[in-house]
Structure 1
Amino acid sequence: MSPLFWLESHRGRYTVVRWLFPRLLAAIYLIAFASWGVQYDGLVGENGILPTKSLMENIHAYEAREHTSLFWQMPSVFHWHYTDAFAHGVLTACCVLCVLVMAGVAQGPLLALLWFGYLSFATTGDIFMGYQWDALLLEAGFLALFLAPWRLWAWRSPAEPPRGSIFLLHWLLFRLMFLSGYVKIGGGDLPWHDMTALLYHYETQPLPNGLSWFIHHAPRWFHVASCWIMYVIELALPFAIFLGRWGRLVAALGFLGLMVMISATGNYNFFDLLTGLMAITLLDDRWWPQRLRTWLRISAESPRPTFKHWTQWPALAAVLPVVLVTLLAADSFLAGRIRDYKPLLPAGLHEKLDAPAARTRSFNAYGLFQDMTEERPEVILEVSDDGALFLPLEFKYKPGDPARRPPFIAPHQPRLDWQMWFAALYPGYDPQRDANPNSPMHWFGQFCTALLQHKQPVWALLEPPPFPVEKITHIRARLYRYHFTLPEVRKVSGDWWEREPVGSFCGTMSLRARGR
């Protein structure tokens, strides 16, 4: 079937979307850059956990030794220059560009700069920038280049967008939702199969909020019904995207409803905002209020550009390559996630295109929440100034003190707190095994070392310690199992959590023990 058929199925006018999408995307970019900026020094600054400066020095040393360039393997503005001050300058500049895009200034060129700016930080952010929503933002940002106006000023009277650009955004939304549902049902995880996953989700998700406790205690039938509804939204509604404007309306409402529920019951940074923005691209002009269309000076009588018009060419030319590369990404992704799944596309295509596409982080596959964690292990750090008396060290956002209410922090993402959730799922920290930079727990050792070295940017990511920072000489980690308290227990104690010790996560660490 001709690709033009699918483009014709999206033939409604999307002039309002063309006006809204670049501005709202820039607002999400602004949130992402600001959130990364306030924790940058502690995570990857020169005195952070995984310094970008060290990464770039290693890259330049390799380039000099091998007489080659690694720019295309790790595309980043920091290939040309790096200091912490320069990195913060780039962050500030990107925030300014976001405001300019929201004001309608040179949206196409500035969105291209924002895409490369975020790619620069994602490439050098190591494990702290490896989340699926970072990839989703980059892919949406790349596709926005085909939708946004490429003129100096675009305030009102927007022109109709290229039809191919709308199709590409809808294709991204289809893949995001459908793959997220498919990996749950096809991944073999029992709680997703017997519809009990949401009995655990609100308690075991990375960073619950204050409403999570209440929803967790809803009746069993509510969680089972919610699971069925989620499957309908993620597995059936994506196909409605290609069933005309009424199908797209139903899909948009379903996706938006799911994002509202996710946002209300957990801290998922800008993911739900970005997915909600993708969902509103399904709404053609006729679904928007007449008052808005009048204010934007959108006329339904204006002639529509045909496929032969030059403004349609860039997006049309991108459709087939983007579809092909994203199908390859999905094929590889499912082969690694679904048991007995064998790649459907030719191995030669994978060999030629997978690696170059992966470097841009803009042609992705998605599969959120494939495995449901049924228990909540938590790593609790303890510090000491003498090696004898250890007291707990509190993080700002993740569960620790059972009496502390889970906070509302979205759309900010405290990436260290998120990473501690993943750390608790590993079988402890082994200094010998995890000294390897390729180990998924290498960062944890670097984190503890930075604390013992009294690096202030790293300590700034945590609550004030029980001892003066400069006197802390020892650190260890204990593993606990956390559960939400029952309503009758919380009514008496006021605690949101109850916990029980599981054992040691890592033994005592001290720089003195290493001869320091």
Structure 2
Amino acid sequence: MDWFAADHSWIARMLFQRSLAAVYVVAFVVAANQYRALLGDHGLTPVRRYLGAVSFRRSPSLFHLHHSDRTFLAVAWIGAALSAATVAGLTDAVPLPAAMAVWVVLWLLYLSIVNVGQTWYSFGWESLLLETGFLAVFLGNDRTDPPLLTLLLLRWLLFRLEFGAGLIKMRGDACWRDLTCLYYHHETQPMPGPLSWYFHRLPQPLHRVEVLANHVTQLVVPIGLFLPQPVAGIAAAVMIVTQLWLVTSGNFAWLNWLTIVLGLSVLPDAWLAPVLPGSAHHAAVGTSVAFEVVVCALAAAVVVLSYWPAANLLSRHQRMNTSFNRWHLVNSYGAFGSITKTRYEIVVEGTADDRPGPDAAWQEYEFRGKPGDPSRRPRQFAPYHLRLDWLMWFAALSPAYAEPWFRVFARRLLEGDRHVSRLLRDDPFRGAPPRYVRALLYRYRFTTRRERAETGDWWARDRVGEFLPPMTLRGTRTAGSR
């Protein structure tokens, strides 16, 4: 079929597939590195216990067939290795059926992890990776022309991602409508980056311009994705630049990077060839009837499944980051429908003293990414995802987010669990467990320019209350709140 091929997208397809595989590498490595502490048999929320409570039908996963710590780690490392091989060009070096099988395996392995990941895998970028990865199955390789239908489905996904995020903002917090949300966001976002202090200190009129530009990018520009080139490419380029701006201002795992990857699939080869040395124009090689039939079936299925996210976009009660099926296909997306105006942080402390009284010597546990020591500058971690640090941000918003894992986390610190300790920046007790652990709640804010010059601190903080009273292995008390 002449209409089936997108002759202008050979380089775009290659760049999209290699970049997507790189995101897969990060996702699988994160799963392998953090599994034992979070989901292992002695983790905070064990997968084995979860599998005993849910059926395969409710949460499809290969781990329903067999699960052990070694099996999970094998799945994660196999996924990482296969992803790395794909970055190196594996899927273009094998026949089309084998290339499709590689993408199916990557999707199935990560789906199996996400569907048993519980609260640690409840973020929108998990579903985004799965939906994007599933569509990649039907993009073909160098032995077939780029299928126009699949590329259009990627644009539909990018449209829903951006347009949904724009609508949830306009329907949500009033500060998005009066253009003041960025007065707070850079300071209160889940995990600020090394430049977030500087972004926060930009003049307020510029913050208002940022918000307005965001609305244009998310509510107007996405329409251009469905227009002919070069308009579609210009729309995608605007989104890519916007996402790079977000990358420099915070840590959002691979959300921004995956959005950029989707944008790359829209750029015309005429733009990419001059900036990618070694890339060459491909002559049409045709496509098999079987592949065309499969891609058409995919398109029809996506059209049907799009009813629910499309209806969600039109609803006054729009839900963000929602999967309407257990396979995480054709989802709804969105972020920051409401903006936190005040930042709270949970500071976890331990003491080796016999009594946890006012004279006890308490030492703080420092996390890798979330704010702690006011003098420590925020770091850049994205696209790597620090799952514990993110959940600590949610727990500080409400103790309800800390159930059922926070008490177990405190207990593991008391036990000197080495897997949990590896999730932290450092262990003040050097592997020797403390006698007591407690958690305090603080209000954090970025220092002013004067405070920064005088003290060198990036943060100023005030104690608000007790989040978890002193806890010991001999017994626990009821967790406190603000």
Is TM (by shorter chain) over 0.5?
Answer: yes
Distance 1:332 1:225 in 2: 28
Distance 1:241 1:127 in 2: 34
Distance 1:54 1:100 in 2: 33
Are 1:174 and 2:159 an aligned pair?
Answer: yes
- Written as runs of structure 1 = structure 2, the 5 A alignment for 1:238-249 is 238-249=222-233
Aligned to 1:512: 474
Distance 1:170 1:494 in 2: 46
1:254 is matched with which residue: 229, 233, 238? 238
- Written as runs of structure 1 = structure 2, the 5 A alignment for 1:16-55 is 16-55=11-50
Tell me if structure 2 keeps the 8 A contact 1:33–1:91. yes
Tell me if structure 1 keeps the 8 A contact 2:5–2:147. no
Q: Deviations over 1:306-343 (max 9, x none)?
A: xx9543222222223213313303535775xx45x79x
Aligned to 1:432: none
Distance 2:202 2:281 in 1: 48
Change (3 A) 1:291 1:205: closer
Distance 2:402 2:125 in 1: 19
Tell me if structure 1 keeps the 8 A contact 2:114–2:126. yes
**Residue 53 of structure 1: how far off its partner (Å):** 2.3
Amino acid at match of 1:123: N
Aligned to 2:304: 324
Amino acid at match of 1:312: E
Change (3 A) 1:303 1:28: closer
Q: Deviations over 1:129-161 (max 9, x none)?
A: 111111100000011111133xxxx5xxx5322
1:361 is matched with which residue: 328, 333, 337? 328
Q: Deviations over 1:487-510 (max 9, x none)?
A: 111111100000111112232322
Change (3 A) 1:178 1:378: same
Aligned to 2:126: 134
Aligned to 1:481: 443
Change (3 A) 1:497 1:112: same
Distance 1:396 1:303 in 2: 50
Tell me if structure 1 keeps the 8 A contact 2:445–2:459. yes
Q: SS of the residue aligned with 1:72?
A: coil
**Residue 373 of structure 1: how far off its partner (Å):** 0.9
Tell me if structure 2 keeps the 8 A contact 1:164–1:312. no
Are 1:117 and 2:79 an aligned pair?
Answer: no
Q: Deviations over 1:441-475 (max 9, x none)?
A: 22222222322333221122123333354442322
Amino acid at match of 1:89: A
Q: SS of the residue aligned with 2:163?
A: helix
Amino acid at match of 1:34: V
Aligned to 1:14: 9
Q: SS of the residue aligned with 1:404?
A: coil
Distance 1:327 1:474 in 2: 53
Query: Which runs of no fewer than 5 residues in structure 2 stay unpaired?
Result: 92-97, 478-482
Query: Which runs of no fewer than 5 residues in structure 1 stay unpaired?
Result: 60-69, 343-353, 430-438
**Residue 57 of structure 1: how far off its partner (Å):** 4.1
Q: SS of the residue aligned with 1:504?
A: strand
Tell me if structure 2 keeps the 8 A contact 1:482–1:500. yes
Are 1:446 and 2:426 an aligned pair?
Answer: no
Distance 1:464 1:270 in 2: 25
Distance 1:227 1:205 in 2: 15
Q: SS of the residue aligned with 2:156?
A: helix
Aligned to 2:421: 459
1:159 is matched with which residue: 134, 138, 144? 144
**Residue 288 of structure 1: how far off its partner (Å):** 2.6
Distance 2:275 2:414 in 1: 60
Aligned to 1:399: 371
RMSD: 2.6
Normalised to the residue count of structure 2, the TM-score between the two structures is: 0.89
Change (3 A) 1:200 1:291: closer
Tell me if structure 2 keeps the 8 A contact 1:252–1:279. yes
Distance 1:75 1:333 in 2: 27
Aligned to 1:351: none
Change (3 A) 1:295 1:416: closer
Change (3 A) 1:296 1:12: closer
Q: SS of the residue aligned with 1:475?
A: strand
Amino acid at match of 1:212: S
Aligned to 2:382: 410
Change (3 A) 1:290 1:501: closer
Are 1:312 and 2:292 an aligned pair?
Answer: yes
Are 1:104 and 2:76 an aligned pair?
Answer: no
Q: SS of the residue aligned with 1:367?
A: coil
**Residue 85 of structure 1: how far off its partner (Å):** 1.4
2:257 is matched with which residue: 265, 269, 273? 273
Q: SS of the residue aligned with 2:45?
A: coil
- Percent identical pairs in the alignment equals 34
Q: Deviations over 1:195-226 (max 9, x none)?
A: 01111111111111111111111111110001
Distance 2:236 2:158 in 1: 10
Amino acid at match of 2:124: Q
Distance 1:274 1:374 in 2: 28
Q: SS of the residue aligned with 1:463?
A: strand
Aligned to 2:193: 209
Change (3 A) 1:492 1:384: same
Distance 1:440 1:476 in 2: 14
Distance 1:13 1:311 in 2: 19
Distance 2:102 2:250 in 1: 32
Are 1:498 and 2:460 an aligned pair?
Answer: yes
Distance 2:241 2:152 in 1: 22
Aligned to 2:95: none
**Residue 391 of structure 1: how far off its partner (Å):** 2.7
Aligned residues: 463
Distance 2:82 2:5 in 1: 31
Change (3 A) 1:294 1:34: closer
Normalised to the residue count of structure 1, the TM-score between the two structures is: 0.84
Change (3 A) 1:91 1:257: same
Distance 1:466 1:294 in 2: 51
Distance 2:458 2:274 in 1: 47
Distance 1:330 1:391 in 2: 51
**Residue 369 of structure 1: how far off its partner (Å):** 1.5
Tell me if structure 1 keeps the 8 A contact 2:237–2:267. no
Please identify runs of 4+ aligned residues in structure 1 that moved more than 4 A: 7-12, 290-295, 332-335
Tell me if structure 2 keeps the 8 A contact 1:269–1:411. yes
